[in-house]
């Protein structure tokens, strides 16, 4: 399942803001990846047995909109169909963020399974939505720091193990924590090894070993971006479900 590739095959609906162009997700006939008239990526979820009095409240975040039990008009296989879906729309034209959304959607679809109940969809969507609640405009230093951490993971001899010790929250004291061994990643775009440390980072427990990875960054048209680093890391861990799920979730929380 590659939702990015599926999404890229879709064209905009013609002059109709109430129609989605959609394509079924292979092996998951109840789900569609779609595009709306604004070019937004849309995930359409359906359940085999709907419970009328059980629903998830509709809402809209900065980039994410969720509408429950919505009757949709879909153009699919050269014809129009009407069907009821839970509609998850990612309202952002930034290509990198769109690809993150589609990657996280792959995890969601795999978690829900082929014939989900209404309750299973709701429970999975609650976790899915939490990932996007912290997604805001990120300052450059946050992007640089994230890139440096991904660069370290991508260049490690055992990316899966390193991801296992990666912080779940950006606010944690060390970027990578394996108990007695810890790594703090610092990045610099001015080619000076001048970094800011917290008191906890400078005074770790006496029985721990802390390594500082100081990485110089310079923007270049032919350099790897965050999306390319993610793809390379995912490939190196053989697209392991739990590992890539954590990888993508941390990226979203950081951004």
- Pair (51, 170) in one structural domain: no
- Pair (54, 165) in one structural domain: no
- Pair (121, 144) in one structural domain: no
- Residue 52 is predicted with a pLDDT of 61
Per residue in 197-221, is it b (16+ CB within 10 Å) or e — as a string? eeeebeeeeeeeebeebebebeeee
- Pair (95, 157) in one structural domain: no
- Pair (148, 33) in one structural domain: no
**Helix/strand/coil percent split, the chain, to 5:** 35, 25, 40
Measure the CA–CA gap between 96 and 90, rounded to whole angstroms. Answer: 12
What does the pLDDT look like over 34-84, one tens digit per residue? 998 888 999 998 876 666 655 556 777 778 888 877 788 887 777 788 888
| CB distance 135 to 62 below 8 Å | yes
End-of-domain residue from the set 83, 111, 133:
133
Per residue in 69-95, is it b (16+ CB within 10 Å) or e — as a string? beebebbeeeeeeeeebbbbbbbbeee
- Residue 143 is predicted with a pLDDT of 80
- Pair (79, 113) in one structural domain: yes
- Residue 53 is predicted with a pLDDT of 56
Cβ-in-10-Å burial (0-12, 13-18, 19+) of 158 comes to exposed
Structurally, how many domains does the chain consist of? 2
- Pair (196, 129) in one structural domain: no
Helices then strands, counting H and E runs in the chain, come out as 8, 9
- Pair (186, 167) in one structural domain: yes
Q: Which two tokens stand for residue 176?
A: 């990578």
End-of-domain residue from the set 77, 106, 133:
133
The pTM assigned to this predicted structure is 0.59
- Pair (164, 68) in one structural domain: no
- Pair (113, 12) in one structural domain: yes
- Pair (129, 206) in one structural domain: no
- Residue 15 is predicted with a pLDDT of 63
- Pair (38, 13) in one structural domain: yes
- Residue 181 is predicted with a pLDDT of 92
- Residue 176 is predicted with a pLDDT of 93
Range of the domain at 231: 140-254
pLDDT tens, N- to C-terminus, the chain (255 residues): 688 899 999 888 876 667 888 888 888 888 889 998 888 999 998 876 666 655 556 777 778 888 877 788 887 777 788 888 888 899 888 887 888 888 888 888 888 877 777 777 777 777 777 767 666 545 555 788 889 999 999 999 999 999 999 987 767 888 999 989 999 999 888 788 888 888 888 888 888 999 999 999 887 777 888 888 888 998 899 888 888 888 887 887 776
End-of-domain residue from the set 133, 157, 182:
133
């Amino acid at each position: 399942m590659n939702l990015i590739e599926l999404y890229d095959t879709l064209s905009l609906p013609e002059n109709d803001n109430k129609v989605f162009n959609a394509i079924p997700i292979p092996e998951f006939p109840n789900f569609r990846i779609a595009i709306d008239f604004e070019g937004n990526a849309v995930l359409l979820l359906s359940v085999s047995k709907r419970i009328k009095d059980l629903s998830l409240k509709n809402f809209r975040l900065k980039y994410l909109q969720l509408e429950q039990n919505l009757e949709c008009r879909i153009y699919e296989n050269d014809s129009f169909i009407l069907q009821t879906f839970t509609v998850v729309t990612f309202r952002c034209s930034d290509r990198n963020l769109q690809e993150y959304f589609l990657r996280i959607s792959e995890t969601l679809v795999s978690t829900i399974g082929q014939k989900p109940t209404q309750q299973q969809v709701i429970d999975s969507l609650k976790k899915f939505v939490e990932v996007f609640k912290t997604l805001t405009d990120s300052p450059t230093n946050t992007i640089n720091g994230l890139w440096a951490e991904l660069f370290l993971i991508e260049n490690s001899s055992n990316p899966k193990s390193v991801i296992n010790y990666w912080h779940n929250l950006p606010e944690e004291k060390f970027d990578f924590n394996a108990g007695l061994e810890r790594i703090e990643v610092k990045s610099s775009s001015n080619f000076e090894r001048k970094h800011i440390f917290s008191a906890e980072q400078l005074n770790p427990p006496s029985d721990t070993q802390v390594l500082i990875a100081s990485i110089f960054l310079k923007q270049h048209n032919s350099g790897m971006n965050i999306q390319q680093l993610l793809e390379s890391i995912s490939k190196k861990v053989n697209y392991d479900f739990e590992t890539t799920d954590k990888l993508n979730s941390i990226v979203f929380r950081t951004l």
